[in-house]
Structure 1
Amino acid sequence: MKRLSTIVLMSLVGVALLHAQVTFRFSGGISNEQLKQNVERNVSALLSEINNAESAGRSLDFSGIRITETARGGLSSLWANLRFRCEWETNVQNCLRDVQEFEIRQIPVEMKPLDNTYKGEIHKELTISFNRNGMITGVRTAMDNNSYMSLMAGGMSVKDVRMRREILKFVEDFRSYYDEKNLSAIDEIFSDNALIITGRVLRKDLTLQSNADIRIPGKNIIFNKQTKTQYINNLRNVFKVNRYIKVDFSDIELIRHSSRENIYGVRLRQRWNSQRYNGGTYMDDGYVFLLWDFNDEEHPKIHVRSWSPVSGEVSSDNLLAPEDFSGL
C-alpha cells in the first residue's frame, strides 16, 4: 500500500510539473481596467503554455491564447530551433506605451537549447507586445536592461521617447527575425524604395567596380547598393540554405537627425554566425546603420539599411549618420 501511495504521489507531482501555472500582473502604467485584466490573463496563459510545452518537449499550443498569426508564426519558428522557460512563477512588471501598441519587458527566461550549436546567453529576458484590443502581437528576447535604459535616457520629449522605444523594439525584433527566419516581417518594415547598401573599405588602389557602387562624401568607404527586392530575394536564399542563424547586436547608438525631428539613425555592431544544412559555417562582424522615417508615426519605415565591415581602417568618421541621406 505504501509503495502504491508513493507511485500515486509521484504521478501527481509529474502532472503538476506538466501543468505549472505562471502568472503575470501589471504593477502600473495601464489605466483601462478591462484591458489590464484581459492582458494579465492572456500573458499568464502564454507563459504557462511556454513552460508546459518545454517540460513536455512538445510544440506550443495556442488554444485559448489571443495572439496574432504573425506573432504565433514567429514564436513557433523560434521554438522549433530554440526553446526556453519562464524562470519565475509570478511576474509583475509595468506597462509601457509604444507609438502603436503596448509593451511588457523584463520577464526572466532560461534558454533551453535543443543541441550544442547554441552559442548565446542562457539567462535572458522576454518582451511581449500587445495591441489596444489586448491581443499579443509579438514575443521576443530582449537586449539587456542596462543598455535599453541608457538608450532611452536620451529622449528629449514624450514623442521622442515613443519613437526611441519603437526603434529599440524593432532592433530586438530584427534579431529575432533571423532566429525565426521571418522574411515577411523584414519585408514589411522596409519602405518599397529602401536603399540597401553593403560597404567595404576604400583603399588607395580601389576604384568603382560597377554602376551599383556609390561614394558618400567624407567617407573612406565604398558602398554597393541593392533594391529592397534584391535584398529580400538574397535573404530568402540565405534562410533556405542555413540550418540556423545567430545574430548578436551590441554598441547600439540612437542618432536623431540634427534638423529633421522625425528622422532617426540606428547604428549597431552586428556579429553574424550561421551554419548551413551541409555543415558549413559562416561568421562576420560589421556595423549596421538603419535610417528611420517617423513622418507617418503610425507606420514608420526604414529607408536605408547599410553594412560596413569591422576593420582597423574604419574610423568613427566613416560610420554613417542620418545627415548622410538628407536628400532622400
Structure 2
Amino acid sequence: MKFQIVLLLMIFNLIQAQTKEQIKNSTDYYYGSGVSSNVREARDRALEELTEQIAVRVAKSFELKIQESSGNLDDNVKSILKTHSTATLKNVKTIKKPMADGRIEVFCYLSKKEVAKVFDERKRLISDFVQNAEKNERVGQCANSLKLYYFSMLLLNSLPEQNVVYNGMNFTTTIPERINSLISKIHFELVDDVKIAVKEREITVKITHAALPVALLDFTFWDGSNQVSVQGRDGFATFHLLGASSAFKNLKLNIKYAYYDARDEYNVIADLWNVVDKPVFDAVKTLKLTTKSERDVLVKPQKVQTQNWNLKLEYEGDIPLTEKVAQSVAEFLDVVTAGDKKQIRQKYKNDPFLNEKIQSYIAYNHPKVLSKTIQAKVCKTKSGYELRKIRMLHNYATINKQATEYLVLDFAENGELIDFNTSIAENLYNEFVKQSEFGRDWNQRHQIIKFIEKYRTAYLTRTIETVDLMFAEDALILIGRRIERKILPENTVQFHKFGNEPDYEYIRLTKEKYLSRQRTVFNSQKDIFLDFGSFDIVQKNNAKNVYGVEMRQSYASTTYSDEGYLFLLMDFSERDPMIYVRAWQPNEWSDSSLVRTANFRVYK
C-alpha cells in the first residue's frame, strides 16, 4: 500500500514538473517561483518574480505616466503593479511542490491574455470613483468630488493604456475635463472684511458652484509664511489673516483638488502617490479685499437684544417660550466665547452632561462665534425645540485647517438648553425635507438627522462612550439626548448576502478593530476632524417604519486619516427609535461589496 502511495506521488509530481516546464517553455504565460518553509512566503516570492516579468513587458507603456525621479523605469512599473493587489490577480494559478530539505516551492503562472483582466479591476475602481464624484458634484459637495476625480486620475496613470475607455466612457479625456469644468464654475464673493486687531482681519466669502451655494469646498492661501487651509460649508467660509497677511489687498485662493493629506484614506492611492505622474490644474481664484458691511438676510425675525448678542430668531409655529429660548441661546454663546472652564461649570453645574460636552467642544475645536447677530430658525421637535443654525469657525492648528461649521441647539419644553451638535450640510437637510413630503415621514428622517449630527459631534468632542455605544453589538434606543442599549431576542434581525458583501462576522471584527484604533487616536491626536462625503436615508420596502442610513465618512487627524462606508438600520415602530445594526467597511468602494438596507430582514 505504501509503495502505491509513493508511486502515485511520484507520478503526480512528474506531471506537475512537466506542466511547469511546458509553461516556462511557452510564450503564452508570465510566471515566477518562490521557495520557503512557509507556503504563503513562497507564493509571495513567486508573485514578485511574476510581477517583474509583467513589468518588463509593459514598461514602455508607462513612460509618460510615471513621475520623473532617479528611480529605474522597471522598478517604478513594478511598484505600480504591486498596487494591483494579489487579491486582484484572481486568475493566477499555482503549482506547489515539497523540496527535499522540507521547504515548499510555489510556482505561479498567469496567461498573458488574463493580464488585461487584472487591469480591468483597476478600471472598475476608477469607474466607482468617478460615479461617486458625479454624485457629490450634483449636490454641491465640491471638496469630495474634486478629491475623487483627482484620485481617479492617479489610478488612471497606473494603467498601461494611453487611452483608457471603460463602459463607453473615455476616462483619459473625461476626468481632466470634469476637474477643469468643476473648478471653472466655482466663484468667491467677498461678504465681510473686518479688522479685529492690529495684525488680524476676519474675512468671510460667499462660495458658489454653478451659481448655487457649495455644500463643501476646501481651499488654501499663502499668508506670507505658511499655507493656510480653509473649509467652506453651506455657501460660506470665514478665515483669519494674521501678521503680514492682514495688510493684503488681494488674496490668491487655491481650490484644493490633490488632497495629499488624504492619500492614506485609500491604500492604493498612498502606494501610487510617489510613483505615478500627478497632473496639475489651474485652480487659483483672486479675491479683491475691500471692507464690506455684514450682509443682510431677508427673514421675518423676532428681534431679541441681549447684552452681547442681537438675536434674530425666526420661529416656526406657535412657540410660547421665545424669551426663554433666546436667553438660553445667549447664555450658551457667552460661555463658548469666554472659553472659561470655571464659568461653564458654574452656569451648567446642574447638568454634568452639558458641562462636560461644552468644555470638550471648546478644548478640541477652538470655536469662535462668527457674528454678534444670530439669524436662525427655531422649530418644534419631539422633545422640545431646535435652533438651526449658528455659524462658527473651528480652528485645527496641527492640520492647518480653519473650518466653517454650524451648530444646532436643542431645548427642553421649558426652554432650557439640553444639547448642541454640529449640523449636516444644508443641501442634505433640505433634500431630506423634500423626500419626506412624498413619504410623509419627516419625524423619522428628522430623528435620523439628529442622531447623525450627534454621532459626528461625538468625534469632535472625543466622547468615546458615545462612539463605543454607536458600534455596540446590542440594539440601541434613542431616548432624548441619551443612548441606551437593549437586548433583542435572537434572530430579530438577519443578514443576507446578495453579492460580494463580506460575512457579518467580518463586519463585526472590523468594527472592533476600528473602535480600538479610535480609542488610541482620541488619546494621542491633538486635532481631529470628521465629515461625511455622502448621506442617504432609505426606507425599507418590506418593514414599516424601518430605515437604512448609508453614508461615506472621512476622518483626518494630526498624523492619521481614513475613509470608509458606514451603515445603520433604524426602527421607528416604538415610542423611542431603535438602532438595530451598525456596519463599518473601511476603504470599500465597490457597490457590490457594500452592506445595504436590502441585506437585512427584521422579524418582530
CA distance change for structure 1 residues 60 and 221 in 2, over 3 Å: closer, same or farther?
farther
Instruction: State the 1:266 CA deviation.
Output: 0.9
Cα separation, 2, equivalents of 1:272 and 1:150: 24
Instruction: State the 1:262 CA deviation.
Output: 1.5
Does 2:434 correspond to 1:153? Answer: yes
Instruction: State the 1:159 CA deviation.
Output: 6.1
Does 2:562 correspond to 1:287? Answer: no
Cα separation, 2, equivalents of 1:189 and 1:36: 34
Correspondence list, 1:1-328, <5 A: 21-33=308-320, 35-53=321-339, 58-59=340-341, 61-62=343-344, 63-64=346-347, 68-113=351-396, 115-119=397-401, 121-156=402-437, 160-187=441-468, 193-194=474-475, 216-223=496-503, 224-226=506-508, 234=516, 235-275=518-558, 281-297=559-575, 299-311=576-588, 314-315=590-591, 317-327=592-602
CA distance change for structure 1 residues 311 and 231 in 2, over 3 Å: closer, same or farther?
closer
CA deviations on 1:71-93 (whole Å, 9 max, x unpaired) are 33222112111122222212232
CA distance change for structure 1 residues 109 and 241 in 2, over 3 Å: closer, same or farther?
closer
Tell me whether 138-147 or 261-270 shows the greater mean CA deviation.
138-147
Give 3-state SS (helix, strand or coil) of 2:574's partner. coil
The number of aligned residues is 277
More strand by share: 1
Give identity over the alignment, percent: 22
CA distance change for structure 1 residues 132 and 321 in 2, over 3 Å: closer, same or farther?
same
Cα separation, 1, equivalents of 2:538 and 2:472: 20
CA distance change for structure 1 residues 137 and 231 in 2, over 3 Å: closer, same or farther?
farther
Instruction: State the 1:215 CA deviation.
Output: 7.8
Instruction: State the 1:41 CA deviation.
Output: 0.6
Instruction: State the 1:97 CA deviation.
Output: 2.9
Counterpart of 2:551, as a letter, is L
Instruction: State the 1:28 CA deviation.
Output: 1.6
Cα separation, 1, equivalents of 2:331 and 2:423: 20
Instruction: State the 1:164 CA deviation.
Output: 0.9
Instruction: State the 1:238 CA deviation.
Output: 4.7
More helix by share: 2
Give 3-state SS (helix, strand or coil) of 1:61's partner. helix
CA distance change for structure 1 residues 240 and 266 in 2, over 3 Å: closer, same or farther?
same
Counterpart of 1:305, as a letter, is R
The 8 Å contact of residues 385 and 415 in structure 2, kept in 1 or not, is answered as no
Instruction: State the 1:141 CA deviation.
Output: 2.1
The alignment's TM-score, normalised by the length of structure 2, stands at 0.41
Cα separation, 1, equivalents of 2:464 and 2:578: 16
CA distance change for structure 1 residues 131 and 311 in 2, over 3 Å: closer, same or farther?
same
Give 3-state SS (helix, strand or coil) of 1:222's partner. coil
Q: Which has the higher contact order (CA 8 A, sep 6+)?
A: 1
CA distance change for structure 1 residues 132 and 155 in 2, over 3 Å: closer, same or farther?
same
The alignment's TM-score, normalised by the length of structure 1, stands at 0.72
The 8 Å contact of residues 266 and 290 in structure 1, kept in 2 or not, is answered as yes
Give ranges in structure 2 of 5+ residues lacking alignment.
1-305, 477-493
CA deviations on 1:80-139 (whole Å, 9 max, x unpaired) are 1112222221223222233333211121122244x23353x5222111111212222222
CA distance change for structure 1 residues 308 and 94 in 2, over 3 Å: closer, same or farther?
same
Counterpart of 1:217, as a letter, is K
CA distance change for structure 1 residues 291 and 107 in 2, over 3 Å: closer, same or farther?
same
CA deviations on 1:193-236 (whole Å, 9 max, x unpaired) are 249xxxxxxxxxxxxxxxxxx98422212141439x95897354
Instruction: State the 1:40 CA deviation.
Output: 0.8
CA RMSD of superposed structures (Å): 3.3
